Chain A
Amino acid sequence: MMEGYDEIMKIAFQAEDALSEKVIAKFGRKFHDKQILIKEGEIQQKIYWITSGEVYVTRKVGEKYRVMATLGKGELIGEMSFIDKSVRSATVIAKGDVDTLEFSKENFADIYTASPQWSRRLMVSLAKRIRFMVDKLSTISG
C-alpha cells in the first residue's frame, strides 16, 4: 500500500475534519509572504489545498504580475493542470503566511476518485472562478 494512504482516505472522506497532526506532518506545507507556489508555464502537477491564509492568482503582463483572483481557506489551487494536463496558466503567490496541504497528482487522484464530495468541491470552485473572471473581463474593454 502507498505510504500515507490512510491519511489520503481520511482527507477524501472527512475533508476539513481530517486535518490531524499526522495529516499535517505528512502533507502540510507553509509558504511565506510573496513566496511562489505555482509558476505560469511550468508543467509540474502539485495540487495545494489552502488550510489558512490567502494567495494571489496572477498572470504576467509585460514585466508586471496582474492579480486575477485572490483565493483563501478551503480553495484548491493547481487543479486545472491536473485535470487537463496542460501547463500552469497562472502564477500563484502567497499573500502573507499561508498553510496548505500539498498533494502529488497521484495523491489527489486517489482523493478525487474516492469521494464525490471532492468532485463537487472542484466543480463549485471552478464555477465561482468562471463567474469571477467574467465579471473581471467585463471591466476591460476588448
Chain B
Amino acid sequence: MDDLPHFLQYGDEVTIPARELIYKVGEPTGDKPIYYVIAGLAKLEYPLSASSFPLWITPENLFGLVEPLAECPRIGTVRASERMILYRWTVENFTLAAAVSWELGLATIAGLTRELRILNAEFGERLSRREEGRR
C-alpha cells in the first residue's frame, strides 16, 4: 500500500465490504462513476437473455468507465466479492489523471480492449453454438 500510483491523487479512497452491491444495471452513473481497484475482487455481470456474462475485476484494474464514456446508464452490475479498497473519480478528474499519467491512460485502454475482445469472442461462440443447434 506504500507505493500507490501518483494518479490516484485525483480520486477519493473508499472501502467496500464483501458482497456489497457497488452499482446495478439501469442506474445513472452518478458523480464519481469510475473506480480503480487497490485491493480485493469484484464481479461485473452483464445481463443477457436468460443468463448473465461475468467478468472478474482484480487489483490495478478499472471499472465503471464504459457508461460515462458511452454516455448511458449502467449496463452491468458490479458487486464486491471480497472486502475492497477502491479509488473513485469524477469523469473530469479521471480525464485529468489519464492525461497526466500515460500509465493510467494505457492501463485504461488495455482494460477496455481486453473486455471488448472477450465480449467479441463470446459473441462468436454463441453464434457458432446457435448455428450448430440449427443443423
Q: Which of B48, B112, B129 has the most CB of A within 10 A?
A: B112
In terms of DSSP, what is the predominant structure of the interface of chain A? helix
Q: Does B9 contact A (CB under 8 A)?
A: no
In terms of DSSP, what is the predominant structure of the interface of chain B? helix
A127 in contact with B113 (CB, 8 Å): no
Taking CB atoms, residues of chain B closer than 8 Å to A131 are 66-67, 70, 72, 75
Q: Does A129 contact B (CB under 8 A)?
A: yes
Taking CB atoms, residues of chain A closer than 8 Å to B116 are 80, 126, 129-130, 133
A133 in contact with B123 (CB, 8 Å): yes
Interface size on A, residues (CB 8 A): 35
Q: Give the contact-size bracket for chain B.
A: 35 or more
A-B contact pairs, 26 of them (CB 8 A): A59-B123, A80-B113, A83-B109, A84-B110, A119-B99, A120-B99, A123-B112, A126-B112, A127-B69, A130-B112, A130-B115, A130-B116, A131-B66, A131-B67, A133-B116, A134-B46, A134-B75, A136-B123, A137-B53, A137-B122, A137-B126, A140-B48, A141-B48, A141-B49, A142-B50, A142-B53
Residue ranges of B at the interface with A (Cβ–Cβ < 8 Å): 46-51, 53, 65-67, 69-70, 72, 75-76, 95, 98-99, 102, 105, 108-110, 112-117, 119-124, 126-131
For the complex of A and B, the 7 pairs showing the least CB-CB separation, nearest first, are A127-B69, A126-B112, A116-B99, A133-B119, A131-B70, A119-B105, A127-B70
